[in-house]
């Protein structure tokens, strides 16, 4: 079981006392690593559609036992579990992605680089020829050899927004929901390549994300966040971004990639530059995709109703109210 | 992903109109099989500790996609989903066990027989020598080669009973909870062997189950039900039972099996009779054990507070209240 656990705070802005507290909690947690600490971790942030600032700690584990122990015993896990939704003056959320290894695939554009889950120790990236054609991502899932990875029913937008403020809610996604984290790293790019990324590829990427965000129902998107990475020592933002998106299944993600002009623009530009610069290309792109089974590992504490998969959850559950 | 899905009704007795309705639903469902119908299914019943009669439909699937489609589309799945907890005059529950194949093991005492999940088509039982010693069950899990299958924290009895009547609750179990279904089939036994089973082995088995039920906290037992099988055509009870039990992890199950007098009595008797009758032994015993990851696939609709894992759930969630 491979695990990605997103723990986040949702506040007014990056300078709010709650944001500072959250950063201090992260700083002290990673200063004294535990045996069960994440094997790789990142810090990202983004402003969501409601204008709220979200600061996100991402932890990756190859060992699900360590992950479970960390959530129960480490300060960040305990902090999240002990939040009182009724009296919190900020929002917090946790989304845990956990799959057997045959339900994930990851790829990176440049040899010697790794991101996300692949940053865990003992994970080796190898050269592949299963890329560069439509359907390659699907083919990279070992499970796709015997499973079409279809979702039994679409996630539909809920008729009324979730009553999420002042409450701790769990949201459930359906079988075979696809979770993609797609990343861009241009901190090593200079001159012509830096200009090309910022003035051409990045705007094309953002046009694509904007299209998906504005058409969630028709594109099968449950949630989409464009996150900026932060340096793990200084917490300053860096020239690295990633898009965390949930799709109803792999199929709508493939359909967008195969047929929509916004993806064609991104894809063709990236391939052109890869051809032009070859091994000297400085911009590095990557992604990881997880196909999850039905689960309720999406928890929202005093968050606004458009947070994460809340608007499209197949089932909503109130944690506090049951106790 | 291998799936066992338990869907049950909880009423006053076997002749209640609700029990009859449930049986009719099952009868009509299996008269017109669907493409996504369970690949193996059983009907069992038991009277629980609160004196309520529980009638249980057990479905097994090798294909998680068919299982997901069946829950959404088949009459029994739809029936459970659409129950109104506030106005139901009976209880109903659903417990779904779903694991990758390396998190399960099953064994049967007699060649040519299969039970439970192993009754699905294309599942072949092979002779094994990984048995007959303490620790063999653990060794039969492929995952045990690289994982100690430990639970990060014990399930404790909740301080106050769940407010479960009139509500639809979800209960969550912790990482590496062990689910055992341990079965006994003596319908083919005659004469001496029948007498021996009913007058000697069965009482020893029941003494062991009684011990575990009375000492749930110290024995690490979250739930234990002794179920009787019913014929799938006539629905009459048959000479076949099974115990469905949830343990905090594999370890307390092993500890009881290795060290407690009640298990020693069962084990020694069964081995004696195996030696005595060899291939002619008519009583067949079997079990299947699943080690699940943290999940909330335990749902209780208007059930009493001692149903299933409700008393030991690590998290309780109210489904209706969130919507």
Predicted pLDDT at A323: 59
> Residue A130 contacts by C-beta under 8 Å, 6 or more apart in sequence?
A136, A139, A140
Phi-psi region of B149 (alpha: psi -120 to 50; beta: other; left: phi over 0): left
pLDDT tens profile B24-49: 999 998 998 899 999 999 999 999 99
**Per DSSP, which regions of chain A are E strands?**
2-11, 40-47, 53-61, 91-99, 104-108, 168-173, 177-185, 221-230, 237-247, 284-292, 295-301, 315-318
Closest to A78 in 3D by CA, of A25, A131, A139, A135: A25
* The residue to which tokens 């590496």 are assigned: B176
CA distances from A236 to A48, A228, A233, A292, B269 (A): 19, 10, 8, 32, 69
Name which of B1, B72, B163 is nearest A152 (Cβ-Cβ).
Answer: B72
Closest to B163 in 3D by CA, of B304, B299, B50: B304
Interface contact flag, B174 A315, Cβ < 8 Å: no
Chain B positions touching chain A (beta carbons under 8 Å): 1, 63-65, 68-69, 71-73, 98, 100, 147-148, 150, 152-153, 162-163, 167, 169-170, 172, 174-176, 293-297, 315-319, 321-323
Query: Cα distance from B181 to chain A (closest Cα, Å)?
Result: 23
Predicted pLDDT at B180: 98
User: pLDDT averaged over chain B?
Assistant: 96
pLDDT tens profile A266-296: 999 988 998 999 989 999 999 999 999 999 9
**Per DSSP, which regions of B192-264 are E strands?**
221-230, 237-247
Interface contact flag, A322 B317, Cβ < 8 Å: yes
> Residue B271 contacts by C-beta under 8 Å, 6 or more apart in sequence?
B132
Name which of B68, B148, B150 is nearest A294 (Cβ-Cβ).
Answer: B68
Predicted pLDDT at A22: 97
Tokens of B94: 């659903």
Give yes or no for a contact between B307 and B164, defined as CB atoms under 8 angstroms apart. yes
Name which of B98, B175, B296 is nearest A68 (Cβ-Cβ).
Answer: B175
pLDDT of B322 higher than 70: no
Q: What ipTM score was computed for the predicted complex, to two decimals?
A: 0.94
pLDDT band per the 50, 70, 90 thresholds, residue B264: very high
CA B78 to chain centre: 22
The residues spanned by each domain of chain B are: 2-322
Predicted pLDDT at A48: 98
pLDDT tens profile B289-317: 999 999 999 999 999 999 999 999 999 99
* The residue to which tokens 């343990």 are assigned: B247
Tokens of A249: 């299944």
pLDDT tens profile A208-244: 999 999 999 999 999 999 999 999 999 999 999 999 9
pLDDT of B241 higher than 70: yes
Query: Cα distance from B316 to chain A (closest Cα, Å)?
Result: 6
CA B285 to chain centre: 15
* B217 CB neighbour count, 10 Å cutoff: 12
Closest to B163 in 3D by CA, of A164, A318, A72: A318
pLDDT of A322 higher than 80: no
Predicted pLDDT at A132: 86
> CA B177, CA A294: separation in Å to the nearest integer?
18
Query: Helix, strand, or coil here: A226?
Result: strand
pLDDT of A321 higher than 80: no
Give yes or no for a contact between B96 and B309, defined as CB atoms under 8 angstroms apart. no
Interface contact flag, B170 A295, Cβ < 8 Å: no
Interface contact flag, B294 A72, Cβ < 8 Å: no
> CA A162, CA A156: separation in Å to the nearest integer?
13
Predicted pLDDT at B323: 59
- DSSP string over B87-134: T-SSEEEEEEEEE-GGGEEEEESSTT---GGGGSTT------SS-SST
pLDDT band per the 50, 70, 90 thresholds, residue A320: confident
pLDDT tens profile B128-168: 999 989 999 999 999 999 999 999 989 999 999 999 999 99
Q: Mean per-residue pLDDT for B273-292?
A: 94
pLDDT of B321 higher than 80: no
């Amino acid at each position: 079981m491979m695990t990605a656990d997103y723990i986040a705070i949702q506040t007014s802005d990056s300078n709010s006392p709650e944001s500072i507290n959250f950063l201090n909690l992260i700083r002290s947690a990673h200063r004294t690593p535990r045996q069960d600490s994440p094997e790789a971790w990142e810090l990202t942030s983004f402003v969501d559609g409601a204008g709220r600032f979200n600061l996100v700690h991402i932890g990756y584990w190859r060992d699900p036992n360590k992950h479970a122990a960390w959530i129960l015993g480490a300060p960040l896990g305990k902090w999240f579990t002990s939040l009182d939704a009724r009296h919190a003056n900020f929002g917090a959320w946790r989304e845990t992605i956990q799959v057997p290894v045959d339900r994930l695939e990851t790829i990176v554009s440049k040899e010697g680089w790794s991101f996300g889950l692949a940053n865990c120790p003992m994970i080796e990236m190898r050269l592949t020829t299963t890329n560069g054609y439509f359907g390659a991502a699907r083919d990279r899932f070992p499970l796709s050899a015997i499973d079409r990875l279809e979702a039994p029913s679409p996630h539909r937008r809920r008729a009324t927004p979730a009553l999420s403020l002042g409450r701790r809610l769990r949201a459930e996604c359906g079988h075979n929901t696809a979770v993609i984290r797609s990343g861009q790293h241009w901190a090593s790019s200079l001159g012509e390549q830096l200009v090309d990324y910022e003035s051409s590829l990045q705007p094309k990427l953002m046009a694509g994300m904007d299209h998906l965000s504005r058409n969630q129902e028709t594109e099968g998107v449950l949630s989409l966040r464009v996150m900026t990475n932060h340096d793990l020592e200084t917490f300053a933002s860096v020239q690295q971004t990633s898009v965390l998106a949930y799709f109803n299944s792999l199929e709508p993600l493939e359909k967008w990639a195969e047929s929509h002009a916004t993806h064609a623009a991104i894809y063709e530009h990236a391939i052109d530059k890869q051809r032009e610069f070859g091994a000297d290309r400085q911009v590095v792109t990557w992604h990881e995709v997880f196909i999850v089974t039905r689960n309720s590992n999406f928890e929202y504490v005093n968050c606004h109703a458009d947070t994460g998969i809340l608007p499209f959850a197949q089932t909503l559950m109130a944690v506090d109210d049951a106790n």
